[in-house]
Amino acid sequence: MRPAPEWCEDVTPFVRVLAQLDEYFSGTRRVFRLRLAPGGTAFQLAVWEALRAIPYGQTVSYAELAGRLGNAAGARAVGLANGANPLPIIVPCHRVIGADGSLTGFGGGLYIKRALLSLEGAACVADLFSAYESGVPCA
């Protein structure tokens, strides 16, 4: 696909986003302060708002997040909404982990999830195969 001939690049609308992402990756920003307007179902929007409440460097399980939303049995639904998050990093879906402390699915790959949690100084960084090797669960 090629852009229309009249198209021209303009990063002006993204200056604040780019600056805040740079600060996040340099370790100086812990909370994003941006106006967001993601499109999704009411449930997805509730999950994404709950993701924004997870503090920098901390993790919660899908089941715990479902419980916070009033549906203790809704871990899978939370996982699906988490996976549909259109604004990863800014809406920190990487902070949600398995109930056993393991790193589970992430659209960018588990190595990226591990790197983001490491950048944030999360208590542990494990995956499905090494959750118990370190002896420190991610919860």
Catalytic positions, written as ranges: 93
In angstroms, the CA 122 to CA 39 distance is 29
Residues 77, 44: contact at Cβ < 8 Å? no
Tell me the torsion sign for CA atoms 131, 88, 53, 69.
negative
In angstroms, the CA 87 to CA 89 distance is 6
In angstroms, the CA 13 to CA 108 distance is 24
